[in-house]
Chains A and B, each alone.
Chain A
Amino acid sequence: MKIRYCDALVIGGGLAGLRVAVQTQEKGLNTVVLSLVPVKRSHSAAAQGGMQSSLANTVMGEGDNEDVHFADTVKGSDWGCDQVVARMFVTTAPKATRQLAEWGVPWTRVRKGPREVVINAQRTTIVEKEEAHGLINARDFGGTKKWRTCYTADATGHTMLYGVANRAIRDQAEIHERKELMRLIVEGSRCYGAVVRDQITGEIEAYVAKATCIATGGWGRIYRTTTNAVICEGTGQAAVLETGLATLGNPEAVQFHPTPIVPSGILLTEGCRGDGGVLRDVDGHRFMPDYEPEKKDLASRDVVSRRMMEHIRKGKGVPSPFGEHLWLDISILGREHIEKNLRDVREIAMTFNGIDPADPGPKGWLPVRPAQHYSMGGIRTKPTGESTAIDGLFACGEAACWDLHGFNRLGGNSVAETVVAGMIVGSYMADYCHRHEIDIDTRLVRESIRREEAYLQEILDRPGHKGMSIFDIKRRMQVIMDEKVGIFRHGETLQEAVDELQQLLKLSREAAVAYKCPRANPELEQAYRVPKMLKIALSVAYGALLRTESRGAHYREDYTQRDDLHWMKRTIVRWSDPEATLPEVGYEPLDIMKMEMPPAFRGYGRKGQIIENPLSAQRAEEVEAIRRRLEAEGKDRFAIQEALMPFELPENYKAKNERLGVGYA
């Protein structure tokens, strides 16, 4: 029986997990990272467009700072995010970007002098400053006031992942591949590590640690059509749910990206539109300005995805054997730009669709339709990244509901979150490890291993195939999520989804496997994963059914307004009875009177669709009064911010960020 001990255990080897591991390892803690796959293959590698960070080097980013990034993020979230977390994030992001440059991320740099760009479908010349030459460049992205998204062509996630993974290798963090989290070891209300299955030998092992961090990414594969990698099955979050104590926040907050390519669902980066590409309909008409006169093709993702579906419903979609779609036109950016800055996009289009997007006119247009892309919800944590319910359990990145994104994440804020949260949460986790000992009885660890071995044996012993195979059950779940828990949601169909998913959960608990080998066995893996996935799917569908309003990416056709009066609260899901087929749902209030930015209109999306909370106006007045008073006293923006909504950061992360031309102002 294998029991290994370490100080810090990180589960998940994508950007967030690896960045946590670097932090704890560099603080002298023996750190182990467990990963389903070689870490450099994590889904982080697929992030194309870039990382938001208010460096303000490019002339199009001039005037940008933490305040502007904060406001964009809060509006993007449709006031669903934790504003303290958003502040922590925007203050640390520039430091993360600059640190990554030192670690070898070859950020695309600013070139001084005139440069031709496409803005609002027009070729325009901008002139970059002499003193910005060689500094980190940024491109435009949706829902942002400034060009803020730092990038390496369209392989940003790849270069960041390699930079951080190589750093972790340098630091000699132990990385154990093809290890799958089965169950957390929880005694009392403290987490002591995890029971893990080796995917090659099939052996069940325990990793015992002072603190454990879940960084297992999103749960996109509960949907049939998703941009997510095939390993993004949400089993990490499900293991947390299965503790019966720890909770998920806002599971119903699911992002649908506007431009996955049809039919494969592979993502084409928002950078396509950020760099000037536009959406067109069956007539070749650029329709987004008709709906969103101000932000046009670059409104936030929830808004653009809904407008696209709305336009298709009006009969403006392009028919195809794979259903109706719209066109993404980047040909107007010119071949040189595409071959340099949108190279992976071109490669994907050519490989999977046989289209060269640099070909001028309709020949180069790419078929796109919105699809599942990101889970804003996840393991509910405090701003330190620690679970609100279990000591010694941390979470970060897409797996967590930290909650930076509320009901809609801005493009470029997710890869940024991975490394920023890694720095912050890793630091708090290291503190925790330094303050705590491993004081769990080995017998309890052995029992945890035995329980898991018995569970797998029970699956292998189930007699014959009756009814649906585990693959059939999984496929049915995915179709239900696509059809009934998608972009447009309605009480009736959500109820149907919840009912059907409960039935599937019961069936999944009896599904037999044909190949009885306990070692490398993909069918066995599905047999224990699918029930976990169904718990996540049920949390998403049930959370969506109960939230009778529309906010960000959660859109209810039977409750079309954002209801600040009744719904300024975060959904909290717990699964305390392992035999149950539904989670318990509760809510955590968002306190308007503590917000730096009280709820208001986002500046894009449908107007006049808010049920106002009187506290919003009251807090807005209060904020304005404090701002006026402190400005009259000659206080700077940092002092004003501190007065409105104080926040803390570890290390030196709260230090002011230097910028070109303005210094530390």
Chain B
Amino acid sequence: MPKTKIMTTDRGEGRELTLEILKYNPRDPESKPHLATYTIRETPGMTLFVALNMIREDLDPDLAFDFVCRAGICGSCGMMVNGKPLLACRTRTADYPEGKIRLMPMPAFELIKDLSVITGQWMDRMSQRVESWIHSSVEHDISRIERPVDPDAADATFELDRCIECGICVASCATALMRPDFVGAVGLNRIARFESDPHDERTDADYYELVGDDTGIFGCMSLLSCEDHCPKNLPLQEKIAYMRRKLAKVK
């Protein structure tokens, strides 16, 4: 891949950092994929959120990337950092002692420009497929006292509800990269989340209908890169194994 333009800013007095970033706008006929190199001065406590904004504000105004909360809560800023899928806002430059960082967009998702990818459509398909909502025949009158839920059961559901759909489990998954229709750890975790929710009336047979094939629960090769990289530390390994054991018994 061609490398172009080295740009430098001297703002600050910290050590010199070199960032190599993929630049490409697939909708601009004149744009060709290339690695652009930027050198900046590190500031105390710098994260990739700070570094990328500094580059955009001082060096390269059209560099595209996605951040929303910049606090590790919303899941917008997944990208490949020296080959590993990470949330950029939580990635500290100080953790790269050589001062060299290469940023690429996450694979498995359609590229918008540079580091910005479309995860929304992928996640929407997943939500439709696993029917990511409560299935209940109860019509509870909302002016009445709510139905009690065992506190431990509520906590267990919350634990799995913490997924932020950042796409990191998909970007790190060999099955997802080989088969675009694989529902991913995010989808399988979502199934486990509703399976654990006392409000949801679906049975194992219902879940089997949704994900009981090679693009679902039986497509996972147990490489478990999803669990290694999940920024919310979700128990993906345990939950995928649990759902697979349950669904293997259906029929």
User: Please, what's the 1-or-0 string for B129-160, where 1 marks a CB less than 8 Å from any CB in chain A?
Assistant: 00111101010101111111111001101100
Residues of A within 8 A of B136 (CB): 102
9 pairs, A vs B, C-beta closer than 8 Å? A106-B157, A166-B133, A178-B120, A200-B118, A229-B74, A351-B92, A469-B61, A652-B143, A658-B143
Closest chain-A Cβ to B134's Cβ sits at a distance in Å of 4
The verdict on B203 contacting chain A, using a C-beta distance below 8 Å, is no
Is A657 interfacial (CB-CB < 8 Å)?
Answer: yes
Determine whether A632 belongs to the interface, using a CB cutoff of 8 Å to chain B.
no
In the complex, which residues of chain A have a beta carbon less than 8 angstroms from the beta carbon of B63?
A: 522
Q: In the bound complex, what is the Cα–Cα distance between A268 and B132 (angstroms)? A: 30
User: On chain B, which size bracket covers the interface?
Assistant: 35 or more
B25, A45: Cβ atoms closer than 8 Å: no
Assuming the contacts A517-B62, A520-B116, asked whether A101 and B27 have C-beta atoms less than 8 A apart, the reply is: no
List 10 A-B pairs, minimum CB-CB distance, nearest first.
A134-B148, A38-B120, A515-B62, A523-B61, A170-B133, A109-B151, A106-B157, A106-B158, A95-B142, A655-B143
CB distance from B166 to the nearest CB of A (A): 9
Q: Does B64 contact A (CB under 8 A)?
A: yes
Q: Which A residues touch B62, using CB under 8 A?
A: 514-515, 517, 521-523
Q: Which residues of A contact B (CB under 8 A)?
A: 37-43, 45-46, 55, 94-99, 101-104, 106-111, 133-136, 152-153, 155, 158-159, 162, 166-167, 169-170, 175, 177-178, 199-202, 229-231, 263-264, 266-267, 321, 344, 347-348, 351-353, 469-471, 475, 513-515, 517, 519-523, 526, 652, 655-660
Q: Determine the distance from Cα of A55 to Cα of B148 in the docked complex, in whole angstroms.
A: 13
Contact A229 B68 (CB under 8 A): yes
The interface residues of chain B lying within 8 Å CB-to-CB of A201 are 27
Q: For chain B, residues 25 to 70, give those with C-beta under 8 angstroms from any C-beta of chain A.
A: 25, 27-28, 44-45, 47, 56-57, 61-64, 66-70
A135 to B154 Cα, complex, angstroms: 10
Write the nearest CB–CB distance from B151 to chain A, whole angstroms.
4
10 more A-B contacts (CB under 8 A) besides A169-B124, A169-B128, A169-B133?
Answer: A37-B68, A46-B71, A97-B146, A229-B70, A230-B67, A230-B68, A264-B47, A470-B61, A520-B113, A520-B116
Determine which of B147, B150, B164, B199 lies in contact with A104 in the assembled complex, contact meaning CB atoms within 8 Å.
B199
Partner of A107, one of B113, B154, B200: B154
Closest chain A residue, CB of each to CB of B197: A104
For B131, the closest partner residue in chain A by CB is A170
Please name all residues of chain B whose beta carbon is closer than 8 Å to the beta carbon of A344 when the two chains form the complex.
Answer: 73
Q: When chains A and B are docked, how far (Å) is the Cα of A174 from the Cα of B147?
A: 31
Contact of B45 among A107, A111, A352, A521 (CB under 8 A): A352
Within 8 A of A (CB), among B107-126: 112-113, 116, 118-121, 123-124
The distance from the CB of A58 to the nearest CB of chain B, in whole angstroms, is 12
* Inter-chain contacts of B124 with A (CB < 8 A): 169, 175
| Chain A residues near B92 (CB-CB < 8 A) | 351
- Residue in A98, A107, A522, A652 whose CB lies within 8 Å of B140: A98
Q: Is B165 in contact with chain A by the CB < 8 A criterion? A: yes
Evaluate contact between B61 and A166: CB separation under 8 angstroms: no
Q: Are B74 and A46 in contact (CB under 8 A)?
A: yes
Measured CA separation A469–B67 after assembly (Å): 21
Q: Are B74 and A166 in contact (CB under 8 A)?
A: no
Once the chains bind, are A155 and B162 in contact (CB under 8 Å)? yes
Does B90 touch A at the CB level, under 8 Å?
yes
A347 to B128, CA, bound (A): 31
Q: What residues of chain B lie closer than 8 Å to A200, measured between beta carbons?
A: 27, 112, 118
Residues of B within 8 A of A40 (CB): 74-75, 123, 164-165
The reply to whether B151 and A159 form a contact with Cβ atoms under 8 Å apart is no
**B160 (CB) vs chain A CBs: closest residue:** A106
Of A38, A108, A109, A199, the most chain B CB neighbours within 10 A belong to: A38
Closest to A153 in B: B158
Residue of A nearest to B145 (CB): A658
Point out the residues of chain B lying under 8 angstroms from A515, CB to CB: 61-62
Q: Which of B90, B194, B200 makes the CB contact (< 8 A) with A351?
A: B90
CA distance A153 to B154 in the complex (A): 11
Report whether B146 and A101 are in contact in the complex, using a CB–CB cutoff of 8 Å. yes
* Interface check B195, CB cutoff 8 A: no
